[in-house]
Amino acid sequence: MPWLEDLWQRVSTRTPAPDAAILGVIGFVALACVILAWPFVRMLVTVCHEAGHAVATTLTGRSLESIRLHSDTSGLTVSRGAPNGPGMVVTLFCGYPAASMVGLAAAVTAGVGYATATLFLLVVALALMLLKIRNIHGALVVVTIGTVLGLVVCYGPEEYLGWLVHGLAWLLLLAGPRPVLELALHSLRVGSQSDAAQLARLTRVPQMGWVILWLGATLGALALGTTTMLPVLLPFAG
């Protein structure tokens, strides 16, 4: 099939990464989006958050029942299995770092020239996620994001795909720590059903301990992603 051959050609073709100056500008634009367009960015983070729960659920042998994405940018992933134990702990833990991990992976893969392949894998992941979405708003969000990325993969100018993937990487890396900080400032003040509260009930680690772990993971990913995209910032660079 010619269209399949064309798609494979685009996905397998390596594209050069933008130079440091352009990557810096893209980073500042992404930071502006995190500050000025947070509801939109937070929905992207929530998609990654719930996908993180879903992947952890599958890898730990639990049964993934449903995923919901709500209009207030919150989400819910429901799984079936033992209500406690390592599987449940891993599943609960993997939500908050997920956006940062996706951003870091995008930075690394785009940096070595596989921007189109990165976008293609994201489209595939969204298609798999759609199979477990159980509300209309969630389906619309996933279909919209997947359609936009799919059109870019098929028709986007190849010389600009690296810009797009690095922009997505910056966006997720910069946005990743914010929900963790919001959790620390708000949710911990009340008896919530947050991931941290559930983890505290399942383990001997208090809620703030989990928040510190998540903050370390997201900030660490941001630092690593920044030096990956802008190695000139490394003290020993050059």
In whole angstroms, give the CA distance from residue 114 to residue 224: 19
In the chain, where the domains are located: 2-12+19-230
Chain segment 102-133, per-residue pLDDT in tens: 999 999 999 999 999 999 999 999 999 999 99
pLDDT of residue 238: 46
pLDDT of residue 13: 82
Q: What percentage of residues in the chain have a pLDDT greater than 90?
A: 77
Chain segment 182-209, per-residue pLDDT in tens: 998 876 555 568 899 999 999 989 999 9
In whole angstroms, give the CA distance from residue 130 to residue 127: 5
pLDDT of residue 232: 61
CA distances from 27 to 46, 100, 178 (A): 21, 15, 16
Structure pTM?
0.93
